[in-house]
Amino acid sequence: MTSTQGKVIVGMSGGVDSSVSAVLLLEQGYDVEGLFMKNWDEDDGTEYCTAKDDLADAEAVCQKIGIKLHTANFAAEYWDNVFEHFLAEYKAGRTPNPDILCNREIKFKVFIDYAEMLGADKIATGHYVRQATQAQGEDVSRPRLLKGLDANKDQSYFLHAVPEAAIARTLFPVGELEKPAVRELAEKHGLVTARKKDSTGICFIGERRFSDFLQQYLPAQPGTIETPDGDVIGEHMGLMYYTLGQRQGLGIGGLVNYPEDPWYVAHKDLERNVLVAVQGKHHSLLYSDALATEPMEWVSGHAPTHQGRFRAKTRYRQDDRPCTLATQADGSVVVQFDQPQRSVTPGQSLVIYDGDICLGGGVIRDTWNAQEVAA
């Protein structure tokens, strides 16, 4: 069948969002085909990553709606361009976000190249983001990446590093919908994915314990847990297993001379291999006012022309917060938040917004504690 709208290859993950995206594109008159990609080859005989079941679901959906499903294995590219960086970041004491890199390097690069080889004019994904075009000059229009309509599901945080040219080649059919409406559509079309749980966490780790997974690749270096004053209060299994702000799993309690309040990870001292913990969820050492990033990745390819007031997130599950932005000569930014932010974590990304427009972001390099800023 030849359509007037052109050929679109939809990334079919075996989830409800991509299933409904394919249905919507068919309704819009596109010539639709699916592509399921495998990015991780298990070598230990176990399938933590649910790829087999997901492929079966993607196949069932494609059969039901009458589209062809292609499969591709990008495990080598994923290993080289996402996973090795992920390990290097952990080794350097940071907490990386592999989904951001996977989008830039795999879903919106290798995937696009493959789809073009299959004759696609566009690709589509089930991400909750929207696009608008911005008039530039006389008749040139450029795409803008906007937050998804459903504030609970907005995924622009994960897409901020995808270049404008790749955004321009992509359709995001569910970005204009609320999640419950997407599930209803899946029910209406009798898709097996209608009630499937949303995927959580990092796919290649699956349900296993994060520390068990990481230990296969990076040797653990146990050390001490200390208070900010240097009192030794426990032992840690290896700094990479802990996240700033974390409460669970520290194994500290019942210390003489300390109140019963829970302990939280405030800092990783890599040089001394010491984990610094503080008591109380709102201890000032858990907060930062300001941060600096690595060189930024702007969706449009360049920093906003006006400096100053924006909003920003330092992690996915967080509202964007008001801040002041100053771009630096090396392409990085320094951001000062109006209010101190809890557990700002090096390795995670800062993502900048101007209203609904996602401007871009960068990996957090340094943070300044509220007290340091005041001092």
Ligand X SMILES: Nc1ncnc2c1ncn2[C@@H]1O[C@H](COP(=O)(O)OP(=O)(O)OP(=O)(O)O)[C@@H](O)[C@H]1O
Total residues contacting ligand X by CB under 6 A comes to: 16
Q: Write the DSSP symbol of residue 180.
A: H
CA triple 328-334-335, angle to 5 deg? 145
Q: Is 11 in the site for ligand X (CB under 6 A)?
A: yes
Q: Is 36 in the site for ligand X (CB under 6 A)?
A: yes
Q: Is 37 in the site for ligand X (CB under 6 A)?
A: yes
> What is the spatial distance between Cα 352 and Cα 31, in angstroms, rounded to a whole number?
35
Residue in 97, 100, 7 with CA at minimum distance from that of residue 346: 97
Is 17 labelled as part of a ligand binding site?
yes
Q: Does residue 323 carry a catalytic annotation?
A: no
Binding residue for ligand X, selected from 199, 211, 279, 324, defined by CB under 6 A: 199
Q: How many CB atoms lie within 10 A of CB 182?
A: 24
Among residues 11 and 361, whose Cβ is nearest to ligand X?
11
Is 211 labelled as part of a ligand binding site?
no
Looking at this protein, which amino acid is placed at residue 273?
N
Least distance (Å) between residue 179 CB and ligand X: 9
Is 201 labelled as part of a ligand binding site?
no
Residue nearest ligand X by beta-carbon distance: 15
Torsion of CA 245, 246, 250, 253, to 10 degrees: 70
Binding residue for ligand X, selected from 44, 138, 139, 198, defined by CB under 6 A: 198
Among residues 37 and 214, whose Cβ is nearest to ligand X?
37
Which stretches does DSSP call E strand in 174-286? 223-226, 232-236, 263-269, 274-279
Contact 182, 20 (CB under 8 A): yes
Binding segment (CB under 6 A) for ligand X, from list 8-16, 86-94, 247-255, 364-372: 8-16
Interface with ligand X in residues 117-156 (CB under 6 A)? 125-127
> What is the spatial distance between Cα 176 and Cα 198, in angstroms, rounded to a whole number?
18
Binding segment (CB under 6 A) for ligand X, from list 7-15, 252-260, 285-293, 318-326: 7-15
Count the residues in the chain.
Answer: 375
Q: Does residue 49 carry a catalytic annotation?
A: no
Q: List, by residue number, the catalytic residues.
A: 102, 203
**Under the rule (CB under 6 A), what is the footprint of ligand X?**
11-13, 15-18, 35-37, 107, 125-127, 198-199
